[in-house]
Structure 1
Amino acid sequence: MNLTVAVIIFLFNIDKILSIKLNKKITKTNFKEPHAKFKQQTNTLIINGVISPQRLFYARVRYARFPGFCGATILEGRFVITAAHCVFYLHPNDIYLEVGDFSLLHPSIETYRITAIYVAPGFNSSNQPINDLAILKTSLAILRAGSMYLPLCNSEVPEDNYPEVLVGTCGLGSTSTGRYTINPAVKLREMFFTLTSFDTSGGMNYAACREDNYCTVPVFEGGNICAMDYGGPFFKLHCDTLEPECLLGVASYSLSKHDNLMENCNDGSFFVKIAKFEEWIDRVLLNHY
């Protein structure tokens, strides 16, 4: 089955997928409505995404000397994982971690100092970073980390299974595609994708997706990660539900179409693969605990 047919079949059955309840608050109805209202109400949504339920594994990396932030995911007691391009040029004292229930409008936030930054081998910073992973170590153990963390997926998704797997990301990044307008979300929100073997920038140009990345096709048309979503979790969903099963990757970058210089984040979302760095992650956690 070719990719185009598979995606069409997936989208044809999306009502069935989205009709499954996440919890008492999230149903088929309120997944559909945010997308329909996007043009009238962008201040509380991911770019063409939906309001997120509670995702306690999500954390936020803040900068001490300038505004802005990146997402992160709790790994275990004193460690979180994020995008290397968010932190590689900084000293640990230049950043700190915020943990809380960001699905709330006014969450209670716990703050942690960062004592070490570990950047993945082979990282290369550019507008399309390579091997874009970093692990941060906190000064103290994160309270309740044992019940909040998201386990790592123990393998990559086989390419033959891409059309059958639903994946998601969540974040607090910009809800506007305007090149000169950054509007962070007021509450956590998320987007769902299917995986593809091709780099989808430039309108599905059929170049192969880079080996260190997952390339994606958004479930909701126009859905993308954007500024300050980077570093956030990219998760595989449990079969037949919309609940995260394991951490598949980290939000790395999005691209912008060349034919519209006034907009960003409208030409594909790319996520670095966790499984490619499993041995490195294990070494960091073991040697630096």
Structure 2
Amino acid sequence: MTFVIQLTKSEVPTGSITPSSSNISKCQVIYWLVLASACLINANSVADRSDADDEGVDEIIGGTTVARGQHQYMAYLRSFYAGGAGSCGGTVITNRYILTAAHCVQDHKTGEIASKVEVRLKVYTISPMDSGAKLITVTGSSIKPHPAYFSNGAFNSIYDIALIKMTANLPTSDYYLIGKLYMPDYQDTVTAVGWGLTSSTSTTASPTLQQVDFKIGTKDECTSFWGSTYHHEYQMCGIIPGKSVCRGDSGGPIVRYSSGYQIYTQVGISSFVPASINGQALCEKGYAVFTRPSAHRDWITANSCIAGGGFCNHWFDV
């Protein structure tokens, strides 16, 4: 990648990423979707909040409520930093590992990696939190953002991918939770899943998991909108206005459904959406960008099953 977005505290509004001045005419302003590093909750309020009080989490843009029991591979993540905490989605990809976005576990401004991540499995409602949700707390080196995501004081969005190693293998009774990864590049209709906002300015929380269908754009369509910010070999983008992800959906999966095999396979990870020049997320525009797991197959394999614990994830091309 030749274009790296630079950040300075004096230039960047809270919750937004602004391209450097030399590239502003060639790319769009982008907005991370996580309710974490860029939008940290006050440290004092974190200690006081209960799991039933997730005010920043709402519905996906233009979507519908998921039926209970669908998308069991979804994980609900809370990442904790020195200055606060926030929420993301993730995918169970083996009996030991969660796949998510790097910016869900690493501050894109400072490079600080979360001190701990609370992983909740078997979650349908988050407010109040499902009584049957399984909580796994992960700390230290088990939180693994891609090492190329943040270096030399700047982030590189094509490496917006991370792994979280759970403290023990899931029991065989939980194997139905494990999602499947799709190897070939994909361009067609997909489904986004998450607990994100219903609109860019929404403040009303939805307690349930949401999903929305939309179409993935061609290289030309995505590059025409994003310019040099977008790299098709590592990323994909949606192109349907009013059907997209928004704040709170970061790290969650973009999946395709195979009617022949009756399975979902993951083709993307929610990364960022367009923003106005003053830093306001513009989720309704569409054109959200997603990291391609297939572009990082070797890294995923080397840092999951080969790194110790759990079986290897299965890559599908059906």
Q: Answer yes or no: same fold by TM over 0.5.
A: yes
Q: CA deviation at 1:236?
A: 1.4
Measured in 1, the distance between the counterparts of 2:59 and 2:163 equals 28
Q: Which residue of 1 aligns with 2:21?
A: none
Structure 2: which 5+ residue stretches go unaligned? 1-56, 310-318
Shift of 1:91: 5.0
Distance 1:105 1:87 in 2: 22
Structure 1 stretches of 4+ with a deviation exceeding 6 A read 125-128
Q: Give the 3-state SS of the residue equivalent to 2:239 in structure 1.
A: strand
Count of aligned residue pairs for this structure pair: 234
Match of 1:149 in 2: 178
Q: Deviation at 1:212?
A: 1.1
Q: What is the aligned partner in structure 2 of residue 251 from structure 1?
A: 270
Contact 2:76-2:120 at 8 Å conserved across structures: yes
Conserved? CA contact 2:238–2:244, under 8 Å: no
Please say if 1:190 is aligned against 2:204. Answer: no
- The match for 2:48 is none
Q: Distance in 2 between matches of 1:91 and 1:206?
A: 28
Which of structures 1 and 2 has the larger relative contact order (alpha carbons within 8 angstroms, sep 6+)?
2
Q: Distance in 1 between matches of 2:226 and 2:75?
A: 34
SS in 2 for 1:68: strand
Q: Quick check: 1:100 aligned with 2:122? A: yes
Distance in 1 between the 2:146 and 2:279 partners?
A: 33
Who is 1:77 aligned against?
95
The 1:128–1:270 alpha-carbon spacing in structure 2 relative to 1, beyond 3 Å, is farther
Percent identical pairs in the alignment equals 21
CA contact (8 A) 2:272 2:290 kept: yes
- Structure 1 contact 45–189 (Cα < 8 Å) conserved: yes
Note if contact 1:74-1:145 (Cα within 8 Å) is conserved in structure 2. Answer: no
Q: What is the CA distance between 1:104 and its match in structure 2?
A: 8.2
> Is contact 2:58–2:203 with CA below 8 Å preserved after alignment?
no
TM-score normalised over the length of structure 1: 0.70
Match for 2:166 among 114, 121, 138?
138
Partner of 1:174: 197
Gaps of 5+ in 1: 1-42
What is the one-letter code of the residue matched to 1:137?
A: K
* CA shift in 2, pair 1:96/1:45, >3 Å: closer
Aligned partner letter, 2:168: L
Match of 1:114 among 138, 150, 153: 138
- 1:35 matched residue in structure 2: none
How far has the Cα of 1:44 moved from its partner? 6.2
Counterpart amino acid of residue 194 in structure 2: G
Please identify which structure carries the higher helix content: 1
TM-score (norm 2): 0.64
Q: Say whether the 8 Å CA contact 1:173–1:183 is kept in structure 2.
A: no
